[in-house]
Amino acid sequence: MISELRDSTAHVFVDAIDAPVLDEIDAHHLLRVLRVKPSDTVTVSDGKGKWFSSFLSADASIEATSEVFTNAAPSWPLTVAFSLVKGDRPEWTVQKLTEIGIDEIVVLAPTVRSVVRWDHDRSNKNIERLRRVAREAAMQSRRTWLPNV
């Protein structure tokens, strides 16, 4: 079961595991960037522990080749909080924390000594960016659970 996750050509997330539909960005990434062929195995997850193996057709539709597996939620979820820093370091931090298996990532903003300040509009935009980074890192590391950011 876990070997199927590791041996697949790619790993993607969908909104609903019972009716999986790739979004446009993921379909482009699989077909154009990774050049996934119809014979290549792609694992599909809902980000909540359920996943299955599949083939990807030329029109980016998913054809399941296995039953739906379920990975249990961690009994002791790991949470890490970090303060904002300048540059692209928040994205790098979220990426690495996701890759090592952290379940919840909390961004502390602003702290007394923080140089970076986010207003309300900018904070919403940046949190969405960090969630996308966490999703991409989870796809790369073949996680079946998406971390909360």
pLDDT digits (tens, 9 = 90+) for 112-143: 777 777 777 788 888 899 999 999 999 899 88
Question: 102 falls in which pLDDT band (50, 70, 90)?
Answer: very high
Res 70: pLDDT? 86
For the domain spanning 2-70, the CATH number is: 2.40.240.20
For residue range 26-55, list pLDDT tens digits in order: 888 888 888 888 778 889 999 898 899 888
Burial class (CB in 10 A: 0-12, 13-18, 19+), 108: exposed
Q: In whole angstroms, what is the distance from residue 33 CA to residue 40 CA? A: 14
Structure confidence at residue 92 as a pLDDT band (50, 70, 90): very high
2-70 and 79-140 have identical folds? no
Residues near 4 by beta carbon (within 8 Å), at least 6 away in sequence: 41, 43, 53, 66
Q: pTM of the prediction?
A: 0.85
Question: Strand, coil or helix: what is 31?
Answer: helix
Packed helices 120-140 and 89-99: angle between N→C axes, nearest 10 degrees: 40
Measure CA 5 to chain center: 14
Helices H / strands E in the chain, number of each: 4, 7
Top-tier CATH class for 79-140 = alpha beta
Average pLDDT over residues 83-104: 88
Q: Which of 137, 143, 133 is nearest to 43 (CA)?
A: 143
Q: Domain spans of the chain? A: 2-70, 79-140
Say which residues have a Cβ less than 8 Å from residue 13's Cβ, sequence separation at least 6: 26, 44, 45, 46, 47, 135, 138, 139, 146
